[in-house]
Amino acid sequence: MSDSCCCGSKKPLFKGSESIPADAIILFDGKDFSGWVKRSDRNAPAEWKVENGYVEVVPGTGDVCTKELFTDCQVHIEFWLPLMADATGQARANSGVYLQGRYEVQVLDSYGLDSQHNDCGGIYRTKAPLVNACRPPEEWQSYDIFFIAPRFNECGVKIASARISVLHNGVWIHHDLEVHEPTGGQLDDNVSEPGPLMLQDHGNKIRYRNIWARKL
């Protein structure tokens, strides 16, 4: 079958790609995960499983990081959580999206809960989402994250903390939130330096797709 429709336009690279900004860096297109490495060895390729247009956590292989490094950025990422009906709390489909490898937006099955900082959409150890925008497990969800890196003066003294805004499934759950320090589980504490996008292996088979970023 042809990749073009009758009007001659090509099919999108992957689902949702028709809305990707022209200056976006494609971090995962549903097929190629070669731009990612293991957190534990930044020279070793990530070992998560790619199939059917998504990448799935392989529990025990560890967190994964982009080779690309970022300061201020916009990130789009979609995730799918397995139904873990017998699990509770932090054991229920846990993962996380780390800006610069240091600031976590929690990924968790928190559907229907009174959300806390460690529930889905929470900035871990920092702030609960403004509203619980979660869909039930086994449905695709999205984050659109706007990250402003900390600022330092010419003497290396921090003069402004990181700031994060997040849309969860199209709903604002954080707006220009000041985050004073890394949120736990971070790659390092070198907050004055660029860092990767990092995804967490918390032992659950979370799926991700349609990952792109813009440098702001």
Residue 193 pLDDT grade (very low, low, confident, very high; cuts 50, 70, 90): very high
Burial of 187 (0-12, 13-18, 19+ CB in 10 A): middle
Looking at residues 153-180, what average pLDDT do you find?
Answer: 98
* Token pair for 164: 């994060």
The per-residue b/e assignment along 148-165, b for 16 or more CB within 10 angstroms, e otherwise, is: bbbeeeeeeeeeeebbbb
- Asked whether the predicted pLDDT for residue 83 surpasses 90, the reply is yes
Looking at residues 159-177, what average pLDDT do you find?
Answer: 98
Task: Quote the percentage of the chain above a pLDDT of 70.
Answer: 92
Question: What 8-state DSSP symbol labels residue 40?
Answer: S
Residue 211 CB contacts under 8 Å (≥ 6 apart), including other chains? 26, 27, 28, 75, 76, 77, 78, 197
* Token pair for 141: 């969800």
Looking at residues 92-116, what average pLDDT do you find?
Answer: 98
Residue 7 pLDDT grade (very low, low, confident, very high; cuts 50, 70, 90): very low
Segment 124-160, tens digit of pLDDT: 999 999 999 999 999 999 999 999 999 999 999 999 9
- Residue 19 confidence (pLDDT): 81
- How high is the mean pLDDT of the chain? 93
Identify the CATH number of the domain defined by range 17-215. 2.60.120.560
Looking at residues 16-24, what average pLDDT do you find?
Answer: 79
